Amino acid sequence: MKYIVGFGLVLAVGCGKINASSSDAGEPDANLMGTASVVTQNHVAGAGMIGSAAANISVFSLRPNSSMLDMQTTDTNGTGSLMIYPGGSVTAVYPHQLDNGGTAGSMQGADLVTFDGVNTGDALTFGTRFSQPVGTAIGNVTISFPNEGIEPLENFVYTPCGERSVFMFPVSVPVYAWCASSPWEVSSFQVSFGGPQQQYYGSASTTLTNNGGSLTGTYGASHVVAASIAGLPAEVTSAGFNLAGVINPSVFGDNVTQPFTSMTTLGSGATAGTATANIPAFVNGDQYQGQATISRNPNFGSTSIYQMVPTSATTWSVGTIAPPPWLNGHQYFSTEAKAEWAIDSTAGASTFDGIVVVVAWSHTTIVNGSNITVPYTWTFILPPTATSVKLPTLPAPFATMAPLPDTDGVNATVTLVEFPSVNGYDALRAVPERDIVCPDCAVRAGDMTSAIINQ
Amino acid sequence: MESNMKNLALLAWMVGAAGCGKVGNAGTDASMFDAAPDADLVGHARVVTQSHVAGDGAVAASMSGVQVFALRPNSSMVDLQTTDNAGGAALTIYPGGSVTAIYPHVYDNNATAAQQGADLVTFMGVKDADALTFGTRFTPYKGGTAANQVGTVNVTVSGAGATTGFVEVETPCGYTEPPQFTAQTATVAIPVYAWCNVSPFEIGGYIYQDAPTAGATSYTYNAPTLNNGNASFALSFPAGHAFTMSTTGVPAEVTSVSFNTQPTLSPEIFSDGNFANGGGTNVGGVVSGGAYTGMGTIYPIGDHLLGALHFSRAGGFSSTTLYDQLPTNATAWTVTAPTLVPWLNGSALFSSEHRLEWSSEATTGASAIDAVVVTLTWSHAMMIGNTNVALPYSWTIILPPDATSVTWPTLPTQFAADQPQPETDTIDSNVRLVEFPSINGYDALRALPERNIVCPDCAVRVGEIPRAIFTN
């Protein structure tokens, strides 16, 4: 009996379909079980710091036919142990806390996260990077850069606590507990509109005293960073390079880890497998996030390679890459609760580690005569052979969270993920969710040295 | 005996494949079966090719010299013919296979030879004794010179109480906007060419007043008989009247509807001048208790009204539209208990697999449909000298109603350049579920001219089909 089930699993993988709720394959073998350890870290705004333990999170494992195998609640350390079905899935459910003004109950959505194709002995770490709520200020930093250009001016100031736009310096920026880092780094980008438009870039940092202080920066001179990438496959038609300053990469916020683009240029196209470009750069932030993007015909996704680059660099060699295959379209079929995609593996394409599918939807309900929108996301981490995923039927306690095709607008994104330092899907499942679902964040935060995605 | 066994096996496979909702001409679906299609399984079809692209002549005119070919489901060729002077050809076909016509373009890239794209049209799932009529409605080539002008229509616009303002005139030959009129009159001379030399020559007009009543509008209509392409006449201004639009018994999942009516002019000519600019009305809103009623004002102009009723629901579904033809003097349009087609629930083009897939949901009371129409469009880009030249292509594939995917055929070698090339071409796709209540299923649908299948609203507009319902 086990052999029959095993053969079925092999066939399913061969077909590239991850069908967690299909009953066609017959009943899974009740004796085929393993165990996995689970760690739940914070996932949603309001839960606390990124990477901290999240207690009391419901985690459950399903067989491939959506039947429940085990459900547990993580302890005060955010840990738990689950029986799992090899090839089945493990899902964590994180209720939101701040939807609709933080009103408890039915006005809160949730984040669901599923590792598919789990195996015995897996150690799965749930938790992601998320934008922090503003909260109550615990201090202020007064920031000043020269008002250099001819007025009118506009200054874009990036701090660990967010981005602000001001016309003239100085400016006072509130500090919150989640962004009271030291050194407290600031970058500023000034545009002058009087006369010919001029741009100025500068960065500075200070050590906070009692969560506050003052900081005066200066603008730097531009320099050229010569960027190059090699090993491009024949189908690549264009390449682009981008360097963006990164500020306090350990803090994740709307305006911090979304690095402002201080300079961009587009390569003149790949020639004989190589593309180059000169990037006019300014020293900005404590390091650059480098993003090289290679593209082919628009029927296919673009591939981005993320690496960190010192701000003092005058050259950036992405190196000789073996990009993953190309995503060739995707669609979410809501009535079938299924996302499907195609992958084109051209000559020289590398293997990759996994596929991340994010399904997003909102329930709309009427509460006291008002239309209330309750947002949900469901992230699936899948083996690289998958070409579709069918949403499993959620266990009864969570059934109301499932997307409702008759009423909810449901969207899905698909991303092929490759970490050169990670070898395949078994190793990928040992990587924290927060790095898998945001590979560029993983590189910015120093968790990974390089990441390659196609989407 | 062996052949019969093969036939039975193949038939069983075809039935199974149909049950799966997949229509595959090559690649994954067909290649799952190692055996080639049975070479003995043949049938015959009559093919008629009519005009398809600008430059071919009038819509529905016979087109000779068009290449048509029949393929087996594995893309192997059964037969290739070129249509005769009457646009006809007899073709050997493979039951369950496909028949394709290829119409080279005429006017791409300033009509430069060797820089022409093409229209491809394929009927899938053909059967023995089919009679397939290719040809579509297309916007005619509107160019004209004094040398090929056949006449002139002189129009005088006056009255309607306006002393100053502007007027728009729409005719079978297109749209024109005479100069601002003063002293209560404006005149315009409309050149008439062969492609729009029709009688009656239906004209719609629209006046916007600057004075004496700024913003006042009037609509007008006349349909003179041309004399060798010539006529002179003045436009009159009928009064508008109230028009009620209502629907009841709408399926429960429909959340909102919208009505649109437009007068049509000389619909036998396919042109953007067919619709009067105004004179119709639009209303819409939320459905309550399965019903909606709205009011508007229409003007009795044109030769009839084309009514469009759009149905929308929540979730990730395309809207559905129902088309009816109405008389111009109608005072109401009521659609009672409409039976809608299933709801299209998304489509995905996997170009590297030559495959398009879609999903639909048949809610309670949904009708069967007659066919699925898939359209692929793309451009080949090529360098000629130092110039980038784009060759536009379209491929319309007409499929049985149970299809939920199509793997498009591999074209025979001589047409390989007309195949979409995912590596270089940006390919767009469209999927439409089509139902004509007066047509009963896919076998009957294949007897319709392609032009009605691929543009159901056109079919209603010209009165060849009384009602059409399809997904957008």
Q: How far is B350 from chain A (nearest CA, A)?
A: 6
Q: With 50 as the cut, is the pLDDT of residue B17 above it? A: no
Q: Which of A300, A328, A405 has its CB closest to that of B316?
A: A405
Contact B30, B124 (CB under 8 A): no
> What's residue B275's pLDDT?
61
Q: Which of A297, A340, A405 has its CB closest to that of B424?
A: A297
Q: A177-191, B30-44, B304-318, B417-431: lowest mean pLDDT where?
A: B30-44
Q: With 60 as the cut, is the pLDDT of residue B269 above it? A: yes
Q: How far is B423 from chain A (nearest CA, A)?
A: 6
In a mutagenesis test of the A interface, which of B407, B408, B423, B425 is the best target, namely the one with the most A β-carbons within 10 Å? Answer: B423
Residues of chain B contacting A336 with CB distance shorter than 8 Å: 345, 359
Interchain CB distance below 8 Å, B355 and A342 = yes
Q: How far is A332 from chain B (nearest CA, A)?
A: 7
Mean pLDDT of all residues in B29-39: 47
Interchain CB distance below 8 Å, A405 and B424 = no
Instruction: Show the tokens assigned to A405.
Output: 């095709």
What's the Cα-to-Cα distance from A200 to each of A74, A192, A283, rounded to whole Å?
Answer: 50, 9, 11
**Residues 205-244, chain A, touching B (beta carbon < 8 A):** 235
Mean pLDDT of all residues in A394-417: 94
**Residues 296-335, chain A, touching B (beta carbon < 8 A):** 296-300, 326, 328-335
Residues of chain A contacting B357 with CB distance shorter than 8 Å: 331, 340
Interchain CB distance below 8 Å, A297 and B423 = yes
Res. A18 pLDDT band, cuts 50 70 90: low
Interchain CB distance below 8 Å, A335 and B359 = yes
Q: What residue in A sits closest to B381 (Cα-Cα)? A: A297
Q: A124-133, B3-12, B57-66: lowest mean pLDDT where?
A: B3-12
Q: What residue in A sits closest to B342 (Cα-Cα)? A: A335
Exposed, middle or buried, A423 (CB in 10 Å: 0-12/13-18/19+)? exposed
Mean pLDDT of all residues in B396-402: 98
Alpha carbons B219 and B240: distance in angstroms, whole number: 8
Alpha carbons B311 and B365: distance in angstroms, whole number: 15
Most confident of B158-162, B184-188, B301-305: B301-305
Alpha carbons A442 and A451: distance in angstroms, whole number: 8
Q: How far is B363 from chain A (nearest CA, A)?
A: 10
Res. A377 pLDDT band, cuts 50 70 90: very high
Q: Which of residues A272 and A17 earns the better pLDDT score?
A: A272
Instruction: Show the tokens assigned to B186.
Output: 């404006």
Q: What residue in A sits closest to B429 (Cα-Cα)? A: A299
Q: What residue in A sits closest to B361 (Cα-Cα)? A: A335
Mean pLDDT of all residues in B263-289: 76
> What's residue B34's pLDDT?
40
Q: Is A341 on the interface with B (CB under 8 A)?
A: yes
Residues of chain A contacting B381 with CB distance shorter than 8 Å: none
In a mutagenesis test of the B interface, which of A11, A333, A364 is the best target, namely the one with the most B β-carbons within 10 Å? Answer: A333
Percent of the residues in chain B that have a pLDDT greater than 90, as a whole number: 53
Interchain CB distance below 8 Å, B315 and A408 = yes
CA dihedral in degrees (A422, A428, A432, A436; nearest 10)? 90
Distant-in-sequence, close-in-space partners of B113: CB < 8 Å, separation ≥ 6: none
Res. A74 pLDDT band, cuts 50 70 90: very high
> What's residue A9's pLDDT?
33
Mean pLDDT of all residues in B149-161: 77
Q: How far is B192 from chain A (nearest CA, A)?
A: 43
**Residue A423 backbone phi and psi in degrees, to 5:** -110, 85
Res. A362 pLDDT band, cuts 50 70 90: very high
DSSP B354-402: TEEEEEEE--TTPPP-SEEEEEEEEEEEEEETTEEEEEEEEEEEEE-TT
Q: Which of residues B240 and B19 earns the better pLDDT score?
A: B240
Beta strands B304-313; B254-264: pairing state: antiparallel
Average pLDDT, chain B: 84
**Residues 167-206, chain A, touching B (beta carbon < 8 A):** none
> What's residue A423's pLDDT?
96
pLDDT in tens, A114-151: 999 999 999 999 999 988 887 889 999 999 999 887 88
Interface of B with A (CB under 8 A): 253, 313-316, 345-353, 355, 357, 359-361, 422-427
Q: With 80 as the cut, is the pLDDT of residue A206 above it? A: yes
Q: With 80 as the cut, is the pLDDT of residue B288 above it? A: yes
Mean pLDDT of all residues in A91-104: 91
Residue B29: helix, strand or coil by DSSP?
helix
Q: What residue in B sits closest to A361 (Cα-Cα)? A: B315
Q: What residue in A sits closest to B316 (Cα-Cα)? A: A409
Q: With 90 as the cut, is the pLDDT of residue B114 above it? A: no
> What's residue A196's pLDDT?
77
Interchain CB distance below 8 Å, A331 and B346 = yes
Q: How far is B307 from chain A (nearest CA, A)?
A: 28
Instruction: Show the tokens assigned to A27.
Output: 């009943």
Residues of chain B contacting A366 with CB distance shorter than 8 Å: none
In a mutagenesis test of the B interface, which of A235, A296, A302, A335 is the best target, namely the one with the most B β-carbons within 10 Å? Answer: A335
Mean pLDDT of all residues in B111-120: 92
pLDDT in tens, B203-217: 887 777 777 788 777
pLDDT in tens, A286-314: 788 899 999 888 899 999 999 999 988 99
Alpha carbons A274 and A168: distance in angstroms, whole number: 44
Place of tokens 């911090």: A256
Interchain CB distance below 8 Å, A299 and B349 = yes
> What's residue A188's pLDDT?
87
Q: Which of B316, B353, B426 has its CB closest to that of A297?
A: B426
Interchain CB distance below 8 Å, B361 and A335 = yes
> What's residue A266's pLDDT?
41
First to last CA, chain A: 40
pLDDT in tens, A223-264: 888 998 988 888 888 888 888 888 877 676 543 444 444 444
Mean pLDDT of all residues in A3-24: 37
Q: How far is A207 from chain B (nearest CA, A)?
A: 51
Q: How many Cβ contacts (< 8 angstroms) between chains A and B?
A: 75
Res. B10 pLDDT band, cuts 50 70 90: very low
Residues of chain B contacting A296 with CB distance shorter than 8 Å: 423
In a mutagenesis test of the B interface, which of A331, A341, A361 is the best target, namely the one with the most B β-carbons within 10 Å? Answer: A331
According to DSSP, the residues that pair with B340 across neighbouring strands are none
Instruction: Show the tokens assigned to B391.
Output: 């060759």
Alpha carbons B392 and B325: distance in angstroms, whole number: 33
Q: A345-359, B92-106, B158-172: lowest mean pLDDT where?
A: B158-172
Q: Which of residues B236 and A434 earns the better pLDDT score?
A: A434
**Residue A329 backbone phi and psi in degrees, to 5:** 100, 150
> What's residue A213's pLDDT?
95
Q: How far is B343 from chain A (nearest CA, A)?
A: 10
Interchain CB distance below 8 Å, B345 and A330 = no
pLDDT in tens, B314-356: 999 999 999 999 998 899 999 999 999 999 999 999 999 999 9
Q: With 50 as the cut, is the pLDDT of residue B251 above it? A: yes
Most confident of A133-137, B53-57, B368-372, B457-461: B368-372
Q: With 90 as the cut, is the pLDDT of residue A361 above it? A: yes
Q: Which of residues A56 and B194 earns the better pLDDT score?
A: A56
pLDDT in tens, A143-172: 999 988 788 888 888 888 888 889 989 999
